Homo-oligomer: A and B are copies of this chain.
Amino acid sequence: MINTQISLLDPVHESLQEVEALLTAQVDVNRSSLERALSRLIGAGGKRIRPRITLLTGSLLGADHKTLLFLGASIEMLHTASLIHDDLIDGALLRRGMETLNTHWSPAASVLVGDLAFTRSSQLILGTASLPVIGMFNETMDRMVEGEITQFAKTQGATTRAEYYDWIKAKTASMFELAAGAAARLSPVDEDVINVARTFGYEIGMAFQIMDDILDFTGEQTTLGKPVGNDLRQRTITLPALIYLETHPDDPDLYTLINRSPIDESNIDRLIVDIRRSEAIDQSLAIADDFLRDALEALGYLPQAPERQALAKIAISLVEMRFSSVGSIIRKYKGEMKHE
């Protein structure tokens, strides 16, 4: 999602390489096949959005460079750990464009590789040597686990937006909040600046997850790295499906999915096509845009600098690629970018 042009202009391009080195150093591939599996998962990469946000926020606000690297690496490792256990829990088939551990591996292997990633992320966060930051890290981990438990314990999928928001806050936005908020906490700034950074992280995290959930409906399998409509096939009811439900309260197949009852694949296919064609996609995009707008508004309270511009770019690029109409705040940042 971060295109090459942006990467080249990226003020934290070199720091990201250092984060990569820290991540790689956590795993000795010569020890076992499980460690090689973790190394491959880390190497498969993804977009490194979380450490990028950490590095940019901390660099913008004056955090110590080395400490930031530990924070960024720790958050990326926590993200990897949660992917591994979540894959086992959700039974997802494809992730990061490659087959997950769980398609070939026993649950035991996935548990262990996930535990290894968790313990390595704990080791990395200790590198910040900051008790408040370790506290924020633990709290995030806790929210994520609680979120998974709440989701797992439910006998049916979400039926309200509030439920959906709680769920994506726990699983996604909390980690983005940590990425920006903990970087601010490591910086010589007041509590209200830390809160602004947290807000920025939270809002961008919400926008990011909603975009991801929209893309699950609108994308192509090759781009997504997973089957189209995968969430719905997994009985995961996301925002587009919820909005579709509001306007089609009588769709029998959607209720069947929400209630996790048996259903023909062909009926799911029909539902995915109908949701794709409905107003639900545009409405979901508008909501993602609202979160983006709030993220950019928060950003406006942070000092103006190339790092702030890069944070704005990340935020915009997450939403914009699928959404042509941009609001006034986005235009403001776009204007600033032109004058860089």
Looking at the complex, which one of B115, B146, B153 makes contact with A85 (CB distance below 8 Å)? B115
Looking at the complex, which one of B111, B119, B129, B152 makes contact with A34 (CB distance below 8 Å)? B152
Distance in Å: Cβ of A79 to nearest Cβ of chain B: 14
How distant is the Cα of A90 from the Cα of B148 in the complex, in angstroms?
Answer: 24
Q: What mask results when residues 128 to 162 of chain A are scored 1 for a CB within 8 Å of chain B, else 0?
A: 01010011001101100110111011000000000
Size category of the A interface is 35 or more
Residues of B contacting A118 with CB < 8 Å?
115, 118
Within 8 A of B (CB), among A79-100: 85, 88-89
With A88-B108, A89-B112, A126-B138 already in contact, the answer to whether A153 and B119 are too (CB < 8 A) is no
Is the pair A149, B34 in contact by a Cβ cutoff of 8 Å?
A: yes
Interface residue A218 (Cβ < 8 Å from any Cβ of B): no
Q: What mask results when residues 213 to 255 of chain A are scored 1 for a CB within 8 Å of chain B, else 0?
A: 0000000000000000000000000000000000000000000
Interface residue A107 (Cβ < 8 Å from any Cβ of B): yes
How distant is the Cα of A114 from the Cα of B111 in the complex, in angstroms?
Answer: 10
How distant is the Cα of A293 from the Cα of B32 in the complex, in angstroms?
Answer: 35
Residues of B contacting A35 with CB < 8 Å?
149
Main DSSP-derived SS at the A contact region: helix
Residues of B contacting A126 with CB < 8 Å?
131, 134-135, 138
How distant is the Cα of A122 from the Cα of B139 in the complex, in angstroms?
Answer: 9
Is the pair B116, A88 in contact by a Cβ cutoff of 8 Å?
A: no
Distance in Å: Cβ of A189 to nearest Cβ of chain B: 22
A152, closest chain B residue (CB): B112
Residues of B contacting A153 with CB < 8 Å?
31-34
Residues of B contacting A88 with CB < 8 Å?
107-108, 111
19 A-B residue pairs with CB within 8 Å: A32-B152, A33-B153, A34-B152, A85-B112, A88-B111, A89-B108, A89-B111, A89-B112, A107-B107, A112-B152, A116-B145, A116-B146, A116-B149, A119-B142, A119-B145, A126-B134, A126-B135, A126-B138, A131-B131
